[in-house]
């Protein structure tokens, strides 16, 4: 399976065009993120064909950012789905990586994965394997129909489940800050669970403005099943309406937060 991708990665590594290629590997019965440095182990390359759709995705772009920052100047390759490509663009727009150093091999997601992720764009610009699955309208969010007070109650009930594992931040490709507000004692009280309501989650939501590429890894990593994507989506819907901007869609466009501009017209 996936001969075209394996052949291309073999070529990239044999010619030295890339120092390493980030993808997934089937190993010990598990699927894991892996940096291929030689074509010898390419047979174990996996697209993530595990038992559930979630097995197919790891924060490869986050690992790439770390590698590029520790080994600057060296070219790397990466296997990218639609979400990964959006993350790569957004990371470049935020000056975290240089795309000149990155060779992207695209893969379009299977229908099963695209539906499981409720993905709005389950393919990159170009792909070597997979087929173009057209996104369906996103599943309706149950809160939308409720009154603001009912919504507040529902969100508080969700936030109260938080065990403050920081998994949403740790897994997020766009959480690249050296210092994190969620660790600042001015914002978040140390040693308390659940974290300050609703400050903890709203601070993170605000920081997702112009950054979140809606990959959904945060929600998959959340032990309390808090619907984080709905929250970040809502924040970025406002950004899109006001500034016509979605992170990671245009090649190098910077987020509205980068620009000094006239304030938007009153809502």
Partner 1 sequence: MDYKTVLTTCAYCGCGCGLYLEVLDGQAIGTIPSKTNPINEGKLCVKGWNIHEFVQHPKRLTKPLIRKNGTLTESSWDEALDYTASRLKEIKEAHGSDSIAFLASAKVTNEENYIIMKFARAAVGTNNVDHCARL
Which residues within the stretch 94-153 sit at the binding site for partner 1 (CB under 8 A)? none
Select the residue interacting with partner 1 from 94, 99, 118, 166 (CB under 8 A).
Answer: 166
User: Which of 105, 182 has the CB closer to partner 1?
Assistant: 182
Kindly state the number of chain residues that form the binding site for partner 1, as judged by CB under 8 A: 35
Give the nearer residue to partner 1 in terms of CB position, either 170 or 254. Answer: 170
Give the span between the Cα atoms of 69 and 1, in whole angstroms. 33
Sites for partner 1 among residues 171-200 (CB under 8 A)? 171
Q: Give min distance, CB of 265 to partner 1, in A.
A: 42
Cβ proximity to partner 1: between 30 and 136 the closer is 30
Q: CB of 217: closest distance to partner 1 in angstroms?
A: 9
* One-letter-per-residue 3-state SS of the chain: CCHHHHHHHHHHHHCCCCCEEEEEEEECCEEEEEEECCHHHHHHEECCCCCCHHHHCCCHHHHHHHHHHHCCCCCEEEEECHHHHHHHHHHHHCCCCCHHHEEEEEECCCHHHHHHHCCCCCCCCCCCECCCCCCCCCCCCHHHHCCHHHHHHHHHHHHCCCCCCCHHHHHCCCCCCCCCHHHCCCCCCCCCCCCCCCHHHHHHHHHCCCCCCCCCHHHHHCCCCCCHHHHHHHHHHHHHHHHCCCCCCCCCCCCHHHCCCCCCCCC
CB of 195 to partner 1, least distance (A): 11
Closest to partner 1 by CB, 71 vs 242, is 71
- 67 contacts partner 1 (rule: CB under 8 A): yes
Question: Is 58 one of the binding residues for partner 1 (CB under 8 A)?
Answer: yes
Query: Between residue 15 and residue 54, which ones bind partner 1 under the rule CB under 8 A?
Result: 19-20, 27-35, 50-51, 54
193/206 with CB nearer partner 1: 193
The residues that touch partner 1, with contacts defined as CB under 8 A, are 19-20, 27-35, 50-51, 54-55, 57-59, 63, 66-67, 70-71, 74, 163-167, 170-171, 220-223
């Amino acid at each position: 399976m996936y001969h075209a991708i394996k052949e291309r990665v073999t070529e990239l590594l044999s010619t030295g065009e890339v120092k390493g290629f980030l993808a997934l590997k089937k190993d010990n019965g598990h699927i894991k993120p892996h940096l291929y440095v030689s074509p010898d182990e390419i047979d174990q390359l996996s697209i993530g064909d595990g038992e559930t759709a979630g097995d197919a995705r790891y924060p490869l772009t986050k690992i790439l950012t770390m590698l590029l920052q520790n080994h600057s100047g060296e070219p790397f390759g990466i296997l990218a789905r639609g979400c990964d490509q959006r993350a790569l663009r957004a990371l470049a727009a935020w000056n975290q990586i240089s795309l000149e150093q990155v060779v992207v091999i695209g893969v379009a997601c299977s229908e099963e994965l695209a539906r499981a992720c409720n993905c709005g764009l389950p393919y990159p610009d170009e792909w070597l394997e997979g087929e173009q699955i057209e996104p369906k309208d996103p599943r309706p969010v149950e809160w939308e129909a409720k009154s603001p007070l009912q919504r507040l109650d529902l969100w508080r009930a969700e936030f109260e489940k938080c065990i403050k594992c920081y998994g949403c931040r740790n897994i997020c490709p766009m959480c690249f800050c050296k210092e994190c507000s969620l660790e600042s004692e001015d914002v978040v009280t140390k040693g308390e669970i659940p974290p300050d309501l609703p400050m903890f989650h709203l601070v993170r939501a605000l920081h997702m403005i112009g950054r979140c590429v809606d990959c959904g890894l945060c929600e998959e990593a959340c032990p309390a099943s808090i619907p984080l994507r709905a929250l970040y989506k809502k924040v970025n819907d406002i950004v899109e309406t006001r500034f016509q901007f979605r992170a990671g869609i245009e090649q190098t466009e910077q987020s509205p937060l980068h620009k000094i501009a006239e304030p938007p017209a009153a809502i």
